[in-house]
Amino acid sequence: MINVQTLLDEKGHAVWAVLPEDNVFDAVKLMDSKSVGALAVLQGKSLAGIISERDYARKVILKGRSSKETKVKEIMTRNVYYATLDQSVETCMVVMSKYHIRHLPVLHDDELIGMISLGDVVKEIIKEQKIKIVQLENTLTWQESY
């Protein structure tokens, strides 16, 4: 069973973040330049929230607000679900599915050390299942040869 630590070691620990006082336009521009769908919102070293493409679409575009005049703190999600290094990717999948979220910040000792996406989790689960299938096929082949 793969855990978040292993996933981050493979994928990397890069985290893109903005400040609560930044404007939403700059946040969306950063998401685009880094090809990510969400950014951590940091207040000092602490995780203050998360801003996603979904937040932008629902809280700026649909409400007719200006992304250059709206602050990140006005639309960010404040109650953030997060992962820890020892959690399994399967547990992360359950949380993401249950709460309809696509990104989980990874915290260690209350410090943000990574961000995982639903895509990252799905890739790991598929990779793990492929390994299990190969192992089962090898076991069957070995048993048939005796």
- pLDDT tens readout for residues 113-139: 999 999 999 999 998 888 888 888 888
Q: For the structural domain made of 4-144, what CATH number should be given?
A: 3.10.580.10
d(Cα 81, Cα 104) in Å, to the nearest integer? Answer: 6
Nearest alpha-carbon partner for 83 in 24, 13, 30? 13
Kindly report the backbone phi and psi dihedral angles of residue 17, in degrees, each rounded to the nearest multiple of 5, phi listed first.
-140, 160
> Could you tell me the CA-to-CA distances from 93 to 42, 90, 101, 124 in Å, in that order?
24, 5, 10, 11
For 70-89, what is each residue's pLDDT tens digit? 999 999 999 999 999 999 99
Domain boundaries, the chain: 4-144
In the numeric block, the tokens 């689960």 are attached to 125
Whether 39 contacts 33, CB under 8 Å? no
- Mapped onto helix, strand or coil, the DSSP state of residue 26 is helix
Mean pLDDT, residues 91-109 taken together: 96
Q: What is the mean pLDDT of the chain?
A: 94
Contacts of 15 (CB under 8 A, 6+ apart): 40, 105, 112, 113, 114, 115
Give the per-residue pLDDT at 135: 84
Give the per-residue pLDDT at 145: 67
Q: How far is CA 8 from the centre of its chain?
A: 11
Whether 128 contacts 1, CB under 8 Å? yes
